Structure 1
Amino acid sequence: MQRTGLLLLLFTTLFARGQQPDTAATVTLFEKIPTGLVRFYFDDYYYLVDKDCVFKSIERVSQFIVEKNVFHADFRDFDQNGTVVLRGYHNQGIKEGPFKAYHPNGTLKWEVTFEQDRPIGDWKYYYPDGKPMLTVNYDEAAVRIMAFWDRRGRQRIKDGNGSYEFTMPFAFYNEYGYPFFERKGKVRNGLPRGYWTTHMVDHDGKKTLYTEEVFDDNTGILSEGYNLFLDATYRTPMAFVPISYFYTAERLLSKPCSFDDYSGFNTYLSEKFSAMLRSSPTLTNIEDKFSYEIQLDKEGNPTEVTLKDALATKELNRYLEMVLNEIPFYFPTLDQDGNAIAGTVTVHGSLSVNDAGQFHFHSFHIIREKQP
């Protein structure tokens, strides 16, 4: 697959200015400005980051009610060039009225109206040249695709009926290495019907079949879903319409200034471990930490994995060591010139087991050996 080359390119481009967060440095996630407003610093996915972090890409200027920990009144979000990318209004944390997002060239990207924190009516999307792209209706309980135009300007869906073929980016790291996925199928009365596919798409446009789905002809509900990569069935379909990350800003979540956090790789580790080790009837009410060391080649492939700080019991460690060897890739270390090199990384994580014996792995962070 395309994983190694694409990920190393992204890794080198974004991460060359620093591999490890400086834990001793003061972190500034927001600060007051002379007008009485507050300026917040976010990455692309609206997680708070330090104002000097290489991954900072959005600044929000807004009133903020400290007692309630919420945004208030009009706000504007700016990109690194000072261009407005989003504007809207909060009434003590509740989204109200028109919200408008903009492409980097200043043209309207999408527009929608909120009422009591929920979108109402049509959410309209536009191409960077200003031409219509997609209309999604929120008047009913089911979200409906009402209109769609392809990049050639041809209307493929009208009044909720037609054919849909839409490509979206993966937001975070996936172990298959593809940057995009394409959703394709028929729409009737705004809902998916019949046979649908999802293809993984690389930067050259090459497609690989990823999932096959069948939606009920009467209800539009997924009746069958099959993941070809995992050789497994599922019940929850992938996204149909563009994902809006600005919702995350309201949760005021922060991330360290590390590529493993920004890219979602640490979250991937958490989900991977938790999915492979779901529960044990003999282990309950446990909070523990662990670490393991990995020798990586310059492509990010593990050549040796060693458990360093073990968990409390032999049974837990047996489970843990089973998973360690199932992680196929880690981002490698970079030298001072930004070139990927072979080296050692140490992964730290935590395990929580509740009173029902369900495992949850979390709080992953990665430390790379420092290079001269």
Structure 2
Amino acid sequence: MKEISSFLLVWLTALLSFGQTDAAKKDTLFEKSVNGLVRFYYDDHYYLVDKDCAFKSIERLSQFIVAKNAFHGEFKDFDRNGTLVLTGYYNEGVKEGDFKAYHPNGTLKWETTFKENRPSGDWKYYYPDGKPLLTVNFDSTAGTISSFWDRLGRQRVVNGEGNYEFKMPFEFYNEYGFPFFERKGKIKNGLPSGYWTTNMVDEKNKKVLFTEEVYDKNGVLTEGFNLFQDRSYRVPLTIVPSQSFVIGERMLFKACSFDDYSGFNAYLSDKLNGAFAANPSFQNTEEDFAYRVSLSKEGEPELITLSQPLKTTALNKYLEMVVKDIPYYFPSLDEQGEPIEDTLTVSGKLRVSEAGVFNFHSLKVEREKQP
């Protein structure tokens, strides 16, 4: 994942003034459209991708103020079938007025109103059949749940009081290999209260208890315990749907590979950086490294070896310890989309600053058998 805001200013200036540049032809993240609009290309998490990338899912038509690196005026987002999925308005990069999102079948998915870049009043969510799902109120500083209906149409939360049980997808890679998590507990005064649980959920709706939590009367987490990692925590998972469209405002770019798209490379970089504290003994170095993983079709690593150790040999044993602590990789797929055994080569770079701060970056995953 790369922040492209700095070169976006130069690139867009050239693009809007003189037409498409040679650089844009190599990696087209946006291009001129009609009536002074610009067409942006995103994946479904709102990271910019090349227009021909297999993970391109959304196209945005909007005015764009190059000098302020900001969207302006009404915008419309369309999926790969040309169906409208989101519309709203920016005033020089600031969200203002009504925003509406749509399900693939064209029914309203959610609607809210922004004032000076913040949601105001009710944020209403709907099921694909048009029935109400959830209402989150933003009259106060933090959002509160005022209403919730389950899939059978039963209202479970009324005026901020009731029982809440909602399944949400993991947006990116997680170490546990589950695509969904389910949050369950009581709502009081619009906030979580008392005992709450999180279940991991697989494609067949099999559930495994993941966390247990306790909230006080003000909706503040007082106890949280991760059963998978056998440790306490203080920052809980969300209890309402997250909205990735705001990522599009940051102009972040992802390379066109599954491990970039899925968030695995970003996860691995964060894991390595978190494991290595600053150490003044190691300064001003830039080194390459690589390791190989024999992977089962379930995504479980069976053998890990350093194929290109760091030149600073004292660091290799720590590097090996960290990568052997990764319990799950996305499995490789054959031409029919079925998981297969494979061997992965994970490569990257380590940069150590003058202060001894470690930065693992430019992670790349190569799969031997996946076409």
CA offsets per residue over residues 189-212 of structure 1, 9 Å max, x none?
A: 111111111011112222111000
Residue 37 (structure 2) pairs with residue 37 (structure 1): yes
Aligned to 2:14: none
Contact 1:135 1:148 in 2 (8 A): yes
Deviation at 1:55, TM superposition (A): 0.8
Aligned to 2:243: 244
TM-score w.r.t. length of structure 2: 0.87
Contact 2:342 2:369 in 1 (8 A): no
Aligned to 2:210: 210
Deviation at 1:92, TM superposition (A): 0.9
CA offsets per residue over residues 10-66 of structure 1, 9 Å max, x none?
A: xxxxxxxxxxxxxxx821111111322111111110011111111111110111112
1:298-309 map, 5 Å? 298-309=297-308
Residue 289 (structure 2) pairs with residue 294 (structure 1): no
CA offsets per residue over residues 307-358 of structure 1, 9 Å max, x none?
A: 2333342221121111222223334555556555544332112334556655
Contact 2:101 2:110 in 1 (8 A): yes
Distance across 2 between alignment mates of 1:161 and 1:337: 48
Deviation at 1:216, TM superposition (A): 0.9
Aligned to 1:4: none
User: SS state of the match for residue 265, structure 2?
Assistant: helix
Aligned to 2:350: 351
Deviation at 1:137, TM superposition (A): 1.2
Aligned to 2:79: 79
How high is the sequence identity, in percent, across the aligned residues? 63
User: SS state of the match for residue 252, structure 2?
Assistant: coil
What's the C-alpha RMSD, in Å, of the aligned pairs? Answer: 2.3
User: SS state of the match for residue 311, structure 1?
Assistant: coil
User: Measured at CA, do residues 301 and 163 of structure 1 come closer, stay the same or move farther in structure 2, by a change above 3 Å?
Assistant: closer
- Unaligned ranges ≥5, structure 2: 1-24
Distance across 1 between alignment mates of 2:348 and 2:242: 29
Contact 1:278 1:360 in 2 (8 A): no
* Residue correspondences, number: 348
Deviation at 1:285, TM superposition (A): 5.7
Aligned to 1:122: 122
User: SS state of the match for residue 153, structure 1?
Assistant: coil
Aligned to 2:49: 49
CA offsets per residue over residues 208-257 of structure 1, 9 Å max, x none?
A: 1100000112x211001000000000000110100100000001111111
Aligned to 2:363: 364
Distance across 2 between alignment mates of 1:355 and 1:231: 36
Q: Which deviates more, 258-267 or 284-293?
A: 284-293
Contact 1:62 1:76 in 2 (8 A): yes
Aligned to 1:58: 58
Residue 155 (structure 2) pairs with residue 179 (structure 1): no
User: Measured at CA, do residues 206 and 311 of structure 1 come closer, stay the same or move farther in structure 2, by a change above 3 Å?
Assistant: same
Residue 112 (structure 2) pairs with residue 107 (structure 1): no
Deviation at 1:125, TM superposition (A): 0.6
User: SS state of the match for residue 266, structure 2?
Assistant: helix
Aligned to 2:153: 153
Aligned to 1:17: none
User: SS state of the match for residue 67, structure 1?
Assistant: helix
Distance across 1 between alignment mates of 2:282 and 2:323: 20
Contact 2:36 2:63 in 1 (8 A): yes
Distance across 2 between alignment mates of 1:105 and 1:335: 31
Contact 2:49 2:254 in 1 (8 A): yes
1:249 partner amino acid: G
Distance across 1 between alignment mates of 2:253 and 2:120: 29
1:58 partner amino acid: I
Distance across 2 between alignment mates of 1:341 and 1:206: 23
Contact 2:214 2:221 in 1 (8 A): yes
Contact 2:343 2:369 in 1 (8 A): no
User: Measured at CA, do residues 157 and 332 of structure 1 come closer, stay the same or move farther in structure 2, by a change above 3 Å?
Assistant: closer
